[in-house]
Structures are given as structure tokens and as C-alpha cells.
Chains A and B, each alone.
Chain A
Amino acid sequence: MALYDMSPKAIIESLPLTEPVLLILLSLAGRPQHGYAILKDVERMSSGRVLLSTGTLYGALRRLLDDDWIERFAEEETPRGRQAYRLTSQGRRNLHLEIDRMKHITRLATLRVATKES
């Protein structure tokens, strides 16, 4: 359950996401991942530019859990039921909102730059 108000207005206020938060969400968009896999995936996606420390990763994960953007579950295939994370439907919707926002900015930037150059 979300501890805080996540109305559409609150979601819009959460955007734009910072690059590390966006990369964490993108890492979980494909499939559920555990903590270390997220760290490595973020590093790979950003070509080594974004190096999350464990403290920062778990601060972000806790925040995303509080807001119901992601959920935590025990992986079945692992011997000790390792905890993993996956996007919730709300988290996926918010990620799409952010991607749409970025697309809009990219389109706008392309148009403006093209107009200026011509």
C-alpha cells in the first residue's frame, strides 16, 4: 500500500525522473531482477557512467516500494528465496508517461533545431 498520495498530480510532480531512477525502472521493465542484477544492469545501460552504490540503490528501491511503483517478492528458483523486484502496473504506467514526455521533448528539440539550421 502506498504511504503517500500518488494521484495523477503527484505522479506528474515526480517527473522528470533522475537518470538513476529511470535506469532502475528500465532495468525492471524487461523482467524482474534482484538487487545486484539491477546494479550491474544500470552500469551496463549507462556504459559505466552511472555507478550506483548499494546504499543509494536501496534508498531508491525503498522509495519506489513506498509509492507502489515496484513490488518485492521471493524468487522461487533460488535456494533461499532471494528477494527480487518487479514493476507494478502503476510503475509501468508512470514509466510510459516519462518515456512519452522524453519523446515529446526529443520531437520538439528536433523540430526546433531543424528550423534553426534551415
Chain B
Amino acid sequence: MLNVYRALLCLYPAEHRQVFSEEMLEVLLAARNEISEQKLFARGRLMVRESAGLLMGALRERFRRFTGIHHELSSFVSGRLAMRNGFRFPKTTIVFMLLILGGVLSAIKRGEDIAASVPNANPPITVHVQSVHSILLGGMPLFFAFFYAAGLIGWAILFALRRSGVHRLAGMSTEQK
């Protein structure tokens, strides 16, 4: 049991582990010792609850670090996500965006230079123009389907996060009583 907890604690970000892991392990040990005399079912239930809590906690911490989105105290357990007032746009994103813009502008300029340097003596190229109907029936629905699917997957992830945590565990424990 302890090895499972240790493995799950490794999923937390290093910063969180440095501060809390020892303390969390002590709490897990205390909880385990308290029910060591009880039946196998009670011990199994505790292990499931703690493992799920650690897993979701680690995911929440990773998600917070990655996105900067926090659980509000008013929605901590229910899992509703909210952007804090103090959320800062990462500076590195601005740098990357400027680099990409520079790259695009440079590519356009180079393309124009190449076009100007090539003599206009090439034979006419036969361009196959796809009919509007085939675009509408083929490409566009696929394009929209892709984005709808992406949106649906995003919604499913958020829904799964919302259903997780103590709220669900509290429900499980009520059912088992």
C-alpha cells in the first residue's frame, strides 16, 4: 500500500513534492495504521479513496502549473474551473509568437524574391480547380467535424475533472454505508 502511495506522490510536480510529500506520507501512514485492525473491505476502500485522491491531486497540480488555471475556493471540490483575476499571460508565449511572426514575414519576403528572380518563361501550368460542390461535400464537413470532435473531447475532460475529487468520493462512501 505504501509503495503505491509513494509512486502516486511521484506524479506531483517537484515543487509540491519538496514541500508536502513527507507530510502527506505521514498522514497516509496514520490513516493506514488507524484502520489496520479493521476488515479487508475497509482497508481496500481507504486505499481506493486515497489513491484516487492522490491521482486527482497530482493531475490538478500539473494542470494548474501548465495552464495557470486555479480551482476557486468556492468550487474547490466540485471541480468548477475558473481563471483567477491575477492570472498572467506567460511572457514566453509573447516571445514565441514574435518569433513565429518573424518567421512568417521572412518566408513571405523570400518567396517574393524567388518569384522575382525566376524569368517569366515557364509554360502555362494547367491547374485543376476543384468544384465548389466537392469542397462543400468533402472538405468543409470534415473540417467542422474535426473542430466539433476537439471541442467534445475538451468538454469531456472538463466534465471528468468536475466529477472527480471528494465530491464523488463522498458520494461513494454514502452509498457504501
**Interface on A for B, CB 8 Å cutoff?**
3-5, 7, 9-10, 13-21, 35-36, 39, 48-64, 67, 69, 82-83
Contact = CB atoms under 8 A, between A and B. Distances in A.
Interface of B: 8, 16, 19-20, 23-24, 26-28, 30-31, 49-50, 52-58, 60-61, 70-78, 84-86, 165-166, 169-170, 173-174, 177
A57 B24 CA distance: 9
A1 B170 CA distance: 33
Contacts of B24: 35, 54-55, 58
What does DSSP make chain B's interface, helix, strand, loop or mixed? helix
A2 to B, nearest CB: 9
B57 A51 contact: no
A59 B86 contact: no
Given A10-B85, A50-B170, A55-B57, A60 B50 contact: no
B166 to A, nearest CB: 5
Contact of A56 (B8, B16, B23, B77): B77
Contacts of B76: 18, 20-21, 59-60, 63
Contacts of B72: 13-14
A3 B84 CA distance: 11
